[in-house]
Amino acid sequence: MLLNSPRWLAPIVLAASLQGAAASDAVTADTVLAEVNGVKITAGHLLLMRGALPQQYQTLPNDALYDGLLQQAISQILLGSTVTDMGKAADLALENEARALRANVAMSRLAEGAVSEDGLQAAYEARFGDVAPAPEYHAAHILVETEEDAAKIVEELEAGADFAALARERSTGPSGPSGGDLGWFGQGTMVAPFEEAVVALEPGAISGPVQTQFGWHVIKLYEIRDQAAPALDEVRADLAGEIQEAAIEAKLTELRGAAKISETGKDAVDLGFLSDPSLLEN
C-alpha cells in the first residue's frame, strides 16, 4: 500500500489551480483535488480509496489520510501511464470486477425498493399469523459420568435431597454452579435423548438416568409455557432480507426469461482449464 509517494517517482505535473480545492468551498464527490497530466483525482476517488484501506489505517487523522491517499492516487496514475497493454489476466480481471460491481449496484437498488412496511407486515402474518404456539421448557439437570452415579443421585432426590444443591455439588456440566438451571428452551434446542426425557416429564418431576454423548443426566422440569410469536421488530431484519432476496430472484427470473442466452455444457469442454492459470499468460 503506497501511503506516501516514493522518492523515485517522476516529477508530478499538477494543475496550478484546482476546481473546488479551496478549503472554504463545500466538497462534493466531484470536487477535483489534483490533476496529473490531464487526469483528474476527485474527492470521490479518495473517499472510496479510504474505505478500502486496511483496518489499521482507518483510525489515522484525516489530514494524514488525505496526504497519503492523494499521493497514492497520483502514483497510481503515473505508474499506470507507463502501461499500454496490461495483459490478458489484468484485462479479464477488470471485466470481472466491472461486471460484479454493476450487478452489486443492481442488487442494492432492487433490495432498497423491495421492502415496505406493508410488505413486512404481510410477511410477518404469513410466517407467524397461523402458527400454533410451541411449548418452552424450564429445566435443570445434573450431569455425571456414569449411570451408577446418576442412579445414586435419583435415590438421594427421592429421599428428599435438594436438586439445586446436588447440582452445585456433583454436576460436571457448566450449569452446575447455578444449580443445574438451563433456563427456558424450546424444542430442537437440546440433543434428542435429553429433549425426549424433558417432554415426557410433568412440571416438578425428576427423570431417571438419561444418557447423551455428554454423559448421564438427571433432569428436573420446573415449568412449561407456550412460546409466544416474536414481535415484528424482533424479526424485521430477517423478514426484510427474505423479501429482498425474493425480489432479486424474481428479477433474475424475469431477465433470464427475456434474455438470449447460450451456454456450453460442461460435457462439451475440458474442465481442466479451471486449474490451468497458464491460459492467462500472453
Residues 138 and 223 in one domain: yes
Q: Which domain holds residue 197?
A: 134-227
Is residue 13 a part of any domain in this protein? Answer: yes
Residues 11 and 74 in one domain: yes
Is residue 158 a part of any domain in this protein? Answer: yes
Is residue 155 a part of any domain in this protein? Answer: yes
Residue by residue, DSSP assigns the chain as: ---S--TTSPPP-B-SS-TT-STTSPP-TT-EEEEETTEEEEHHHHHHHHHTS-GGGTTS-HHHHHHHHHHHHHHHHHHHTT-S---HHHHHHHHHHHHHHHHHHHHHHHHHHH--HHHHHHHHHHHHTTPPPEEEEEEEEEEESSHHHHHHHHHHHHTT--HHHHHHHH--STTGGGTTEEEEEETTSS-HHHHHHHHHPPTT-B---EEETTEEEEEEEEEEEEEPPPPHHHHHHHHHHHHHHHHHHHHHHHHHHHS------GGGS-GGGGG-GGGG--
Is residue 37 a part of any domain in this protein? Answer: yes
Reported as a pLDDT band with limits 50, 70 and 90, residue 21 is very low
CATH number at residue 172: 3.10.50.40
Is residue 156 a part of any domain in this protein? Answer: yes
pLDDT of residue 229: 84
Reported as a pLDDT band with limits 50, 70 and 90, residue 164 is very high
Residues 138 and 79 in one domain: no
Q: Give residue-wise pLDDT tens across range 98-143.
A: 999 999 999 999 999 999 999 999 999 998 888 788 899 999 999 9
Structural domain total, the chain: 2
Q: Lowest-pLDDT range, 9-13, 23-27, 69-73?
A: 9-13
Q: Give residue-wise pLDDT tens across range 63-73.
A: 999 999 999 99
**Which of the listed residues 227, 247, 268 is the one where a domain comes to its end?**
227
pLDDT surpasses 60 at 14: no
Is residue 196 a part of any domain in this protein? Answer: yes
Is residue 115 a part of any domain in this protein? Answer: no
Is residue 168 a part of any domain in this protein? Answer: yes
